């Protein structure tokens, strides 16, 4: 197989509301897309690292963090790191915004 860098258009920037999370299924991967109050867009795997799992896209967003909706873990949107006292890390995806199109880079 040839490894390629794929830029996948996933949404229009202006359609994505601030302080909201969207779930997007890219082939088989479930991605949670978030826009912060300042307009930054982040993409994380839509899966909490909590041992019992859970999604992230419906979590409450505060600054550059999302609180996991099921177990209330605080997770950084920037690097996917779970904040103390909990531990873990969510896979993050690189995001590019070009002329109103949000791309996820795989």
Partner 1 sequence: MKKLVMIGNGMAGVRTIEEILKLNTEQFDFTIFGEEPHPNYNRIKLSNILQGDTNFDDIIINPLEWYKENNIQLYTGEAIVTIDVESKRVISDQGREVEYDELIIATGSNSFILPIPGADKIGVTGFRDIKDCEMMIKSAGRYQKAAVIGGGLLGLEAARGLLNLGMKVDVVHLMPHLMERQLDPIASSLLKTELESQGMNFLMKKQTVEILGDERVTGLRFKDGSEVEADLVVMAIGIKSNIQVAKDSGIYVNRGIVVNDYMETSVPHVYAVGECAEHREIVYGLVAPLYEQGKILASHICGIESKPYEGSVTGTQLKVAGVDLFSAGEIFEDGTTKSIMVYNEYEGLYKRVLTRNNTIVGIVLYGDTKDSTRLYRMLTKKEDISGVSIFHTECTGEGSTDDIASMSNDELVCGCNGVTKGAIVEAIHTQGLTTLDQVSHCTNAGRSCGRCKPMVSQILAHTLGDQFDAAAAQKTSICGCTTVSREELVAEIKEKGLTSVKEVMNVLDWNNTEGCTKCRPAINYYLGMIHMDEYKDDRDSRLVNEKMHANIQKDGTYSVVPRMYGGVTTAADLKKIAEVAEKYNVPLVKLTGGQRIGLFGVKKEDLPAMWEELDMPSGYAYGKTLRTVKTCVGAQFCRYGTQDSMTLGIKLEKKFERLDTPHKVKMGVSACPRNCSEAGIKDIGFVGIDGGWEIYVAGNGGVDLRAGDLLCTVKTEEEVMEITSAYLQYYRETANYLERTSKWVERMGLDHVKEVLADEETRRGLNDRMDQTLKKYIEPWNEAIQNEEIKDKYYTRHNISVGSESK
Q: Which residues bind partner 1 (CB under 8 A)?
A: 6, 8-12, 15, 17, 19-20, 22-27, 37, 51-55, 58-63, 67, 69-70, 72, 74, 84-87, 101, 106
The C-alpha atoms of residue 68 and residue 82 are separated, in whole angstroms, by 10
CB of 3 to partner 1, least distance (A): 14
CB of 54 to partner 1, least distance (A): 6
CB of 40 to partner 1, least distance (A): 13
- Distances in Å between the alpha carbon of 45 and those of 30, 31, 33, 42? 6, 5, 9, 10
Look at the block and give the residue holding tokens 């994505």: 16
């Amino acid at each position: 197989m040839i490894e390629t860098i794929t830029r996948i258009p996933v949404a229009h920037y202006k359609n994505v509301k601030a302080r909201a999370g969207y779930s997007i299924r890219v082939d088989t991967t479930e991605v949670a897309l978030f826009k912060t109050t300042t307009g930054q867009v982040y993409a994380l795997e839509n899966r909490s690292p909590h041992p019992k799992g859970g999604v992230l896209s419906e979590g409450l967003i505060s600054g550059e963090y999302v609180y996991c909706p099921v177990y209330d873990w605080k997770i950084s949107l920037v690097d996917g790191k779970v904040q103390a006292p909990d531990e873990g890390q969510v896979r993050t995806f690189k995001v590019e915004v070009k002329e109103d199109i949000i791309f996820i880079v795989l």
